[in-house]
Amino acid sequence: MTKALVMSLEAPLQAWGEQGRFVDRPTNREPTKSGVAGLLCCCLGVTQEQSAQELAVLATLEFGVRIDRPGRVVHDYQTIGVSTGYRMANGKIKEENKEYNKSYLCDARFIAVWRGDEAHIGRLAKALRSPVFTPFLGRRGCSPSTPLLAGVIDSPSLRHTVSTFPQKPVRAGWVQPESVWCVTDHVGDTFGGFVQTRNDVAVNFLHRQYVSRSVLIYRSSPPVAEGRKKDEAAAVQEKKQSRMWWAKARQERLEYDDYKCVVCQSREHSQVHHTSYLGRENNEILRTLCSTCHQIVSHTEQMRGMGGKRIDPLSPLWFDFICSARLAEARKSRSHENY
Protein backbone atom coordinates (compact mmCIF):
# COMPACT_ATOMS: atom_id res chain seq x y z
CA MET A 1 0.00 0.00 0.00
CA THR A 2 1.06 3.59 -0.55
CA LYS A 3 2.82 5.08 2.47
CA ALA A 4 2.51 8.51 4.08
CA LEU A 5 5.20 10.42 5.95
CA VAL A 6 3.69 12.53 8.74
CA MET A 7 5.77 15.47 10.02
CA SER A 8 5.14 17.48 13.18
CA LEU A 9 5.86 21.19 12.66
CA GLU A 10 5.75 22.97 16.02
CA ALA A 11 7.94 25.80 17.31
CA PRO A 12 7.78 29.08 19.22
CA LEU A 13 8.37 30.87 15.89
CA GLN A 14 8.10 29.70 12.30
CA ALA A 15 7.73 31.46 8.95
CA TRP A 16 6.49 30.17 5.60
CA GLY A 17 6.79 32.86 2.94
CA GLU A 18 5.21 32.71 -0.50
CA GLN A 19 4.95 36.38 -1.52
CA GLY A 20 8.21 37.77 -0.05
CA ARG A 21 9.65 40.68 -2.05
CA PHE A 22 12.91 42.50 -1.24
CA VAL A 23 12.67 43.91 2.30
CA ASP A 24 9.10 42.75 3.02
CA ARG A 25 8.99 39.13 4.19
CA PRO A 26 5.44 38.12 5.21
CA THR A 27 4.43 34.61 6.24
CA ASN A 28 1.60 32.34 5.17
CA ARG A 29 -0.80 31.02 7.79
CA GLU A 30 0.29 27.44 7.04
CA PRO A 31 3.49 25.75 5.76
CA THR A 32 4.14 25.94 2.03
CA LYS A 33 5.12 22.96 -0.07
CA SER A 34 8.39 24.64 -1.10
CA GLY A 35 9.22 25.48 2.53
CA VAL A 36 8.73 21.91 3.78
CA ALA A 37 10.59 20.60 0.72
CA GLY A 38 13.52 22.85 1.66
CA LEU A 39 13.43 21.44 5.19
CA LEU A 40 13.63 17.90 3.79
CA CYS A 41 16.54 18.92 1.53
CA CYS A 42 18.40 20.13 4.64
CA CYS A 43 17.81 16.79 6.33
CA LEU A 44 18.97 14.93 3.20
CA GLY A 45 22.11 17.08 2.89
CA VAL A 46 21.09 18.47 -0.52
CA THR A 47 22.73 21.79 -1.46
CA GLN A 48 21.19 24.49 -3.64
CA GLU A 49 23.23 23.31 -6.62
CA GLN A 50 21.84 19.77 -6.21
CA SER A 51 18.28 20.82 -5.40
CA ALA A 52 16.73 20.49 -8.88
CA GLN A 53 17.03 16.70 -8.94
CA GLU A 54 15.69 16.20 -5.43
CA LEU A 55 12.83 18.67 -5.93
CA ALA A 56 11.79 16.76 -9.06
CA VAL A 57 11.39 13.65 -6.88
CA LEU A 58 9.43 15.53 -4.20
CA ALA A 59 7.14 16.98 -6.88
CA THR A 60 5.90 13.45 -7.61
CA LEU A 61 4.65 13.07 -4.01
CA GLU A 62 1.28 14.32 -2.80
CA PHE A 63 1.44 16.95 -0.06
CA GLY A 64 -1.00 18.20 2.55
CA VAL A 65 -1.04 20.29 5.74
CA ARG A 66 -3.36 20.34 8.74
CA ILE A 67 -3.55 23.40 11.00
CA ASP A 68 -3.89 21.94 14.50
CA ARG A 69 -3.10 25.28 16.16
CA PRO A 70 -3.07 28.39 13.94
CA GLY A 71 -0.97 30.54 16.28
CA ARG A 72 -0.79 34.28 15.77
CA VAL A 73 1.18 36.49 13.41
CA VAL A 74 3.91 38.67 14.98
CA HIS A 75 5.95 41.31 13.13
CA ASP A 76 9.64 42.07 13.47
CA TYR A 77 11.51 45.14 12.19
CA GLN A 78 15.21 44.39 11.56
CA THR A 79 18.17 46.51 10.51
CA ILE A 80 21.49 45.21 9.17
CA GLY A 81 24.76 47.08 8.87
CA VAL A 82 23.73 50.24 10.74
CA SER A 83 27.30 51.49 11.25
CA THR A 84 29.66 48.83 9.89
CA GLY A 85 27.88 47.58 6.77
CA TYR A 86 27.11 43.92 6.21
CA ARG A 87 28.95 40.93 4.78
CA MET A 88 27.73 39.65 1.40
CA ALA A 89 27.77 36.03 0.19
CA ASN A 90 31.13 36.56 -1.56
CA GLY A 91 32.73 37.67 1.72
CA LYS A 92 32.98 41.39 0.92
CA ILE A 93 31.64 44.13 3.19
CA LYS A 94 29.02 46.39 1.64
CA GLU A 95 28.82 49.84 3.25
CA GLU A 96 25.08 50.40 3.44
CA ASN A 97 22.13 49.74 5.69
CA LYS A 98 19.29 47.32 5.10
CA GLU A 99 15.88 47.30 6.71
CA TYR A 100 13.58 44.28 6.81
CA ASN A 101 9.96 43.83 7.83
CA LYS A 102 9.54 40.17 8.72
CA SER A 103 6.50 38.28 9.97
CA TYR A 104 6.41 35.05 11.97
CA LEU A 105 3.83 32.58 13.23
CA CYS A 106 3.97 32.38 17.03
CA ASP A 107 3.06 29.16 18.92
CA ALA A 108 1.58 27.45 15.85
CA ARG A 109 1.36 23.70 15.35
CA PHE A 110 0.88 21.80 12.08
CA ILE A 111 1.21 18.35 10.63
CA ALA A 112 2.56 17.98 7.09
CA VAL A 113 1.91 14.78 5.12
CA TRP A 114 3.86 13.47 2.14
CA ARG A 115 2.23 10.53 0.33
CA GLY A 116 3.87 8.36 -2.29
CA ASP A 117 6.07 5.39 -3.06
CA GLU A 118 7.28 3.41 -0.03
CA ALA A 119 10.94 3.69 -1.10
CA HIS A 120 10.84 7.50 -1.27
CA ILE A 121 8.93 7.78 2.01
CA GLY A 122 11.38 5.48 3.79
CA ARG A 123 14.35 7.53 2.55
CA LEU A 124 12.76 10.77 3.80
CA ALA A 125 11.90 9.23 7.19
CA LYS A 126 15.51 8.12 7.63
CA ALA A 127 16.72 11.66 6.87
CA LEU A 128 14.33 13.16 9.43
CA ARG A 129 15.64 10.79 12.09
CA SER A 130 19.25 11.74 11.38
CA PRO A 131 19.45 15.08 9.47
CA VAL A 132 22.66 16.10 7.70
CA PHE A 133 22.12 19.86 8.06
CA THR A 134 20.27 21.61 10.88
CA PRO A 135 16.57 21.85 9.96
CA PHE A 136 14.60 25.06 10.50
CA LEU A 137 10.90 25.83 10.13
CA GLY A 138 10.95 28.35 7.30
CA ARG A 139 13.76 30.68 8.41
CA ARG A 140 17.12 30.21 10.04
CA GLY A 141 16.72 30.35 13.80
CA CYS A 142 13.18 28.91 13.83
CA SER A 143 14.16 25.60 15.42
CA PRO A 144 11.49 22.90 15.90
CA SER A 145 10.44 22.23 19.49
CA THR A 146 9.32 18.63 18.84
CA PRO A 147 10.76 15.75 16.76
CA LEU A 148 10.00 16.32 13.10
CA LEU A 149 9.02 12.72 12.36
CA ALA A 150 5.55 11.93 13.69
CA GLY A 151 5.17 8.59 11.91
CA VAL A 152 5.12 6.54 8.70
CA ILE A 153 1.70 4.96 8.09
CA ASP A 154 -0.35 3.27 5.40
CA SER A 155 -2.36 5.80 3.42
CA PRO A 156 -5.49 4.94 1.39
CA SER A 157 -5.67 8.60 0.28
CA LEU A 158 -4.06 11.93 1.12
CA ARG A 159 -7.31 13.45 2.40
CA HIS A 160 -8.01 10.44 4.61
CA THR A 161 -4.52 10.56 6.18
CA VAL A 162 -4.58 14.30 6.83
CA SER A 163 -8.10 14.13 8.30
CA THR A 164 -7.68 11.07 10.53
CA PHE A 165 -4.15 11.28 11.91
CA PRO A 166 -4.59 11.84 15.70
CA GLN A 167 -3.89 15.35 16.94
CA LYS A 168 -2.23 16.24 20.23
CA PRO A 169 -4.57 17.26 23.06
CA VAL A 170 -4.48 20.92 24.01
CA ARG A 171 -3.03 22.10 27.30
CA ALA A 172 -5.06 21.86 30.48
CA GLY A 173 -7.62 24.65 30.60
CA TRP A 174 -7.63 25.17 26.83
CA VAL A 175 -10.55 24.23 24.56
CA GLN A 176 -10.00 21.42 22.06
CA PRO A 177 -11.27 22.64 18.66
CA GLU A 178 -14.09 20.61 17.15
CA SER A 179 -12.65 20.98 13.64
CA VAL A 180 -9.46 22.27 12.01
CA TRP A 181 -8.48 23.57 8.57
CA CYS A 182 -6.68 21.33 6.08
CA VAL A 183 -4.84 22.36 2.89
CA THR A 184 -3.96 19.49 0.53
CA ASP A 185 -3.04 18.94 -3.11
CA HIS A 186 -6.21 18.88 -5.20
CA VAL A 187 -6.15 15.28 -6.41
CA GLY A 188 -9.86 14.37 -6.37
CA ASP A 189 -13.28 15.77 -5.63
CA THR A 190 -13.91 19.08 -3.91
CA PHE A 191 -16.64 17.83 -1.58
CA GLY A 192 -16.90 20.02 1.51
CA GLY A 193 -14.15 22.44 0.47
CA PHE A 194 -12.98 24.92 -2.13
CA VAL A 195 -10.01 25.14 -4.52
CA GLN A 196 -7.27 27.77 -4.66
CA THR A 197 -3.98 28.19 -6.56
CA ARG A 198 -0.66 28.37 -4.71
CA ASN A 199 2.67 29.29 -6.28
CA ASP A 200 4.79 27.19 -3.93
CA VAL A 201 6.13 24.19 -5.85
CA ALA A 202 9.92 24.64 -5.95
CA VAL A 203 11.74 23.60 -9.12
CA ASN A 204 15.24 24.93 -8.36
CA PHE A 205 16.37 26.65 -5.17
CA LEU A 206 19.54 28.01 -6.77
CA HIS A 207 17.66 30.06 -9.38
CA ARG A 208 14.49 30.49 -7.26
CA GLN A 209 12.18 28.85 -9.77
CA TYR A 210 8.63 27.95 -8.70
CA VAL A 211 5.45 26.70 -10.37
CA SER A 212 1.82 26.71 -9.24
CA ARG A 213 -0.44 23.96 -7.92
CA SER A 214 -4.12 23.63 -7.07
CA VAL A 215 -4.97 23.05 -3.42
CA LEU A 216 -8.17 21.93 -1.72
CA ILE A 217 -9.05 23.78 1.50
CA TYR A 218 -11.56 22.15 3.84
CA ARG A 219 -12.32 21.49 7.52
CA SER A 220 -12.01 18.13 9.27
CA SER A 221 -12.50 16.73 12.77
CA PRO A 222 -9.45 14.55 13.52
CA PRO A 223 -9.46 12.33 16.62
CA VAL A 224 -7.45 13.27 19.71
CA ALA A 225 -4.55 11.00 20.70
CA GLU A 226 -6.13 9.14 23.64
CA GLY A 227 -2.86 7.96 25.14
CA ARG A 228 -1.50 11.48 25.37
CA LYS A 229 -4.86 12.74 26.58
CA LYS A 230 -4.78 10.26 29.45
CA ASP A 231 -1.17 11.22 30.26
CA GLU A 232 -2.17 14.88 30.42
CA ALA A 233 -5.16 14.09 32.66
CA ALA A 234 -2.92 12.03 34.92
CA ALA A 235 -0.40 14.90 35.15
CA VAL A 236 -3.17 17.34 36.09
CA GLN A 237 -4.47 14.94 38.74
CA GLU A 238 -0.97 14.42 40.14
CA LYS A 239 -0.47 18.18 40.36
CA LYS A 240 -3.74 18.56 42.29
CA GLN A 241 -2.74 15.79 44.69
CA SER A 242 0.67 17.40 45.19
CA ARG A 243 -0.96 20.71 46.11
CA MET A 244 -3.29 18.97 48.56
CA TRP A 245 -0.34 17.10 50.11
CA TRP A 246 1.63 20.33 50.50
CA ALA A 247 -1.31 22.16 52.11
CA LYS A 248 -1.75 19.30 54.59
CA ALA A 249 1.98 19.07 55.43
CA ARG A 250 2.22 22.86 55.84
CA GLN A 251 -0.71 22.95 58.27
CA GLU A 252 0.70 20.05 60.29
CA ARG A 253 4.08 21.83 60.68
CA LEU A 254 2.46 25.10 61.74
CA GLU A 255 0.44 23.28 64.37
CA TYR A 256 3.51 21.31 65.49
CA ASP A 257 5.41 24.58 66.15
CA ASP A 258 2.30 26.25 67.61
CA TYR A 259 2.55 28.83 64.78
CA LYS A 260 5.79 30.13 66.37
CA CYS A 261 8.98 30.94 64.49
CA VAL A 262 11.65 28.38 65.45
CA VAL A 263 14.21 31.21 65.68
CA CYS A 264 12.56 34.21 67.32
CA GLN A 265 9.36 32.58 68.66
CA SER A 266 7.22 35.23 66.93
CA ARG A 267 3.74 34.36 65.66
CA GLU A 268 3.69 37.26 63.20
CA HIS A 269 3.04 36.20 59.58
CA SER A 270 3.99 32.57 60.15
CA GLN A 271 5.41 30.83 57.06
CA VAL A 272 6.87 27.39 56.31
CA HIS A 273 10.42 26.92 55.04
CA HIS A 274 11.83 23.87 53.17
CA THR A 275 15.17 22.50 54.32
CA SER A 276 15.09 20.10 51.35
CA TYR A 277 13.12 19.58 48.16
CA LEU A 278 13.88 15.88 47.91
CA GLY A 279 10.83 13.69 48.41
CA ARG A 280 7.45 14.77 49.71
CA GLU A 281 7.00 17.41 52.36
CA ASN A 282 6.86 16.25 55.98
CA ASN A 283 7.78 17.51 59.45
CA GLU A 284 11.39 16.43 59.04
CA ILE A 285 12.14 18.88 56.22
CA LEU A 286 9.80 21.75 57.14
CA ARG A 287 10.39 24.61 59.60
CA THR A 288 8.05 27.41 60.78
CA LEU A 289 9.53 30.90 60.38
CA CYS A 290 8.19 34.42 60.69
CA SER A 291 8.27 36.57 57.57
CA THR A 292 11.45 38.42 58.68
CA CYS A 293 13.48 35.28 59.43
CA HIS A 294 12.20 33.62 56.26
CA GLN A 295 13.30 36.61 54.20
CA ILE A 296 16.79 36.47 55.74
CA VAL A 297 17.08 32.75 55.01
CA SER A 298 15.83 33.03 51.40
CA HIS A 299 18.06 36.02 50.67
CA THR A 300 21.11 34.21 52.06
CA GLU A 301 20.42 31.10 49.97
CA GLN A 302 20.07 33.23 46.86
CA MET A 303 23.14 35.42 47.43
CA ARG A 304 25.36 32.41 48.20
CA GLY A 305 24.05 30.45 45.21
CA MET A 306 23.27 27.45 47.39
CA GLY A 307 20.99 25.84 44.80
CA GLY A 308 19.65 22.57 46.19
CA LYS A 309 21.48 23.01 49.49
CA ARG A 310 18.96 24.59 51.82
CA ILE A 311 19.43 26.29 55.19
CA ASP A 312 18.12 24.50 58.28
CA PRO A 313 17.27 27.21 60.87
CA LEU A 314 17.52 24.65 63.70
CA SER A 315 21.19 24.04 62.91
CA PRO A 316 23.25 25.86 65.60
CA LEU A 317 25.44 27.57 63.00
CA TRP A 318 22.51 28.91 60.95
CA PHE A 319 20.45 29.68 64.07
CA ASP A 320 23.20 32.04 65.31
CA PHE A 321 23.60 33.52 61.82
CA ILE A 322 19.88 34.37 61.55
CA CYS A 323 19.86 35.90 65.06
CA SER A 324 22.89 38.05 64.19
CA ALA A 325 21.28 39.16 60.92
CA ARG A 326 18.10 40.13 62.76
CA LEU A 327 20.11 42.09 65.33
CA ALA A 328 22.02 43.93 62.61
CA GLU A 329 18.77 44.75 60.83
CA ALA A 330 17.27 46.09 64.06
CA ARG A 331 20.32 48.33 64.73
CA LYS A 332 20.16 49.63 61.19
CA SER A 333 16.47 50.51 61.60
CA ARG A 334 17.14 52.34 64.91
CA SER A 335 19.97 54.38 63.37
CA HIS A 336 17.65 55.51 60.55
CA GLU A 337 14.97 56.46 63.06
CA ASN A 338 17.44 58.55 65.12
CA TYR A 339 18.71 60.23 62.01
pLDDT digit string, tens, across residues 150-198: 999 999 999 999 999 998 877 666 677 888 999 999 877 777 789 999 9
Mean local confidence (pLDDT), 50-68: 93
Going by C-beta distance under 8 Å and a sequence separation of 6 or more, which residues neighbour residue 163?
A: 66, 182, 220, 221, 222
Q: Average pLDDT of 235-244?
A: 72
Instruction: Convert the pLDDT of each residue in 117-132 to its tens digit.
Output: 999 999 999 999 999 9
Backbone dihedral angles phi then psi of residue 247, each to the nearest 5 degrees: -60, -40
For residue 107, pLDDT over 70 is answered with: yes
pLDDT of 82 reads: 63
Residue 12 has pLDDT above 70, yes or no: yes
Query: What structural domains and CATH numbers belong to the chain?
Result: 3-74+101-222 (3.30.70.2660), 231-338 (no CATH)
pLDDT band for 337, please (50, 70, 90 cuts). Answer: low
| Chain centroid to CA 249 | 34
Q: What is the pTM of this model?
A: 0.64
Q: Give the dihedral of Cα atoms 291, 295, 297, 300; nearest 10 deg.
A: -170
> What is the mean pLDDT of the segment spanning 3-22?
88
Report which of 232, 199, 285 is spatially closest to residue 17, judged by C-alpha positions. 199
Q: For the chain, what is the mean pLDDT? A: 86
Q: Which of 47-51, 73-77, 229-233 shows the lowest per-residue confidence on average (mean pLDDT)?
A: 229-233
Helix axes 33-44, 51-58, angle to 10 degrees: 120
Predicted local distance difference test score (pLDDT) of residue 173: 60
Task: Tell me what pLDDT residue 92 has.
Answer: 80
Where does residue 222 fall: left (phi above 0), alpha (psi -120 to 50 degrees), or beta otherwise? beta
pLDDT exceeds cutoff 90 at 21: no
In sequence order, the β-bridge partners of residue 108 are 11
Q: What is the pLDDT of residue 187?
A: 78
pLDDT tens by residue, 284-323? 889 999 999 999 998 888 888 776 678 999 999 999 999 9
Other Cβ atoms less than 10 A from the Cβ of 260: the count is 16
Q: How far is CA 109 from the centre of its chain?
A: 9
Q: What pLDDT, on the 0 to 100 scale, is given for residue 174?
A: 66
Higher pLDDT, 29 or 331: 29
Tell me which of 260 and 236 has the higher pLDDT.
Answer: 260
Confidence of residue 217 (pLDDT cuts 50, 70, 90): very high
Q: How far apart are CA 211 and CA 263, in angstroms?
A: 77
Least confident of 22-31, 130-139, 325-334: 325-334
Integer angstrom CA distances of residue 16 from 47, 108, 284: 20, 12, 55
Q: d(Cα 229, Cα 223) in Å, to the nearest integer?
A: 11
What is residue 219's predicted lDDT score, i.e. its pLDDT? 92
Cα–Cα distance between 56 and 112 in angstroms, integer? 19
- pLDDT score of 225: 78
Tell whether the torsion through CA atoms of 211, 214, 219 and 225 is positive or negative: negative
The Cα–Cα gap between 298 and 86 comes to: 48
pLDDT tier for residue 235 given thresholds of 50, 70 and 90: low
pLDDT surpassing 60 at residue 232 = no
Hey, what amino acid is at 324? S
* Residue 94: per-residue pLDDT: 75
pLDDT for 201-213, tens place per residue? Answer: 999 998 888 999 9
Task: Say whether pLDDT at 228 is over 60.
Answer: no
Model pLDDT, residue 308: 67
